[in-house]
Amino acid sequence: MKKANIAVVGATGMVGRTFLKVLEERDFPYENLYVFASKKSAGQKVTCKGQEFTVEELTEDSFDRNIDIALFSAGGDISKKFAPIAASKGVIVVDNSSAWRMDKDIPLVVPEVNPEDIKWHKGIIANPNCSTIQAVVALKPLHDQFNIKRIVYSTYQAVSGSGVKGVKDLEEGLKGNDLLSAYPHPIAGNCLPHIDVFLENGYTKEEMKMINETQKILNNYNLKITATTVRVPVRDSHSESINIEFEKPFELEEVRNILEKAPGIILQDDAKNNVYPLARSAAGHDEVYIGRIRRDFSLENGLNLWVVADNIRKGAATNTVQIAEILIPTLE
């Protein structure tokens, strides 16, 4: 396989460090690796594949060297400023922020779901929201077979989705110290139905992200979706209850067989033996775990799923690296 010159932007953050870990674990074929972050992080050391790298300050000149692919996870404002600069210099940007996700000219990609959309990129590819990624991995194979009519999302999201501050709030809260650095209320012993900011329509920005991104990824802007997203006192891995209404009838065994064969999914659905997806079990893994598969008897062609995945890995870093792997053969 061709080797690429790779840049990681936001290399000292939680997702950025996981980029490096995933690149190493998957033995990503890079020739040169460049690591960038803010001025205050410049000079720090990070490692990948046993080699130590010095973090450089991200500037407008950072992409003047020969870089093929840049993995961004440094926040929306940084992406809005620097992704177009990188793209103008021939770099393909895979961006983990929300900056470009709903731009009609930028593909929003989950490799197990819509890898074909990568082909029409114009220099920037967007990585979806963590909670959306695991949901569509579960939904796509079922949508292909039974045609989804409506989705109801209820999420139980880990504090690592808020970065280092969220993790610190939980860890200190469990010690009896209620910090409010990431949330408006203590997270320890609590569930907060409040992720991102509230919008005029009463939904949070996170809820609207899931609605809009799912429609874009599944290429159906008329798909009826509603969502309630909740932050829970769990360190890693998002859990989701997904209620689906299909156009076509289905058998539960059919559903299980489809999910079992689908890429990136591990089925854990043995209720008699208390086997179902758990946040603690999914943490550190790249697969999407699905269980609690059962009919929704309150409507025709209704189904319930419980879907769990590591939000920092499959929900961010691993999905980004998977996109980069697909790009490798397309490099000149």
**Catalytic option among 48, 121, 130, 143:** 130
Q: Mean per-residue pLDDT for 123-131?
A: 98
- Average pLDDT of the residues of the chain: 97
pLDDT for residue 250: 98
**Catalytic option among 48, 121, 143, 238:** 238
Annotation marks residue 130 as catalytic: yes
Q: How confident is the model at residue 190 (pLDDT cuts 50, 70, 90)?
A: very high
Percent of the chain with pLDDT over 90: 99
Annotation marks residue 238 as catalytic: yes
- Which CATH architecture group holds 4-127+316-330? 3-Layer(aba) Sandwich (3.40)
CATH class of 131-311: alpha beta
pLDDT for residue 269: 98
CATH 3.40.50.720 residue ranges in the chain?
4-127+316-330
Distance of CA 310 to the CA centre of its chain: 9
CATH 3.30.360.10 residue ranges in the chain?
131-311
pLDDT for residue 253: 98
**Chain segment 37-79, per-residue pLDDT in tens:** 999 999 999 999 999 999 999 999 999 999 999 999 999 999 9
pTM of the predicted structure, to 2 decimals: 0.97
**Chain segment 215-270, per-residue pLDDT in tens:** 999 999 999 999 999 999 999 999 999 999 999 999 999 999 999 999 999 999 99
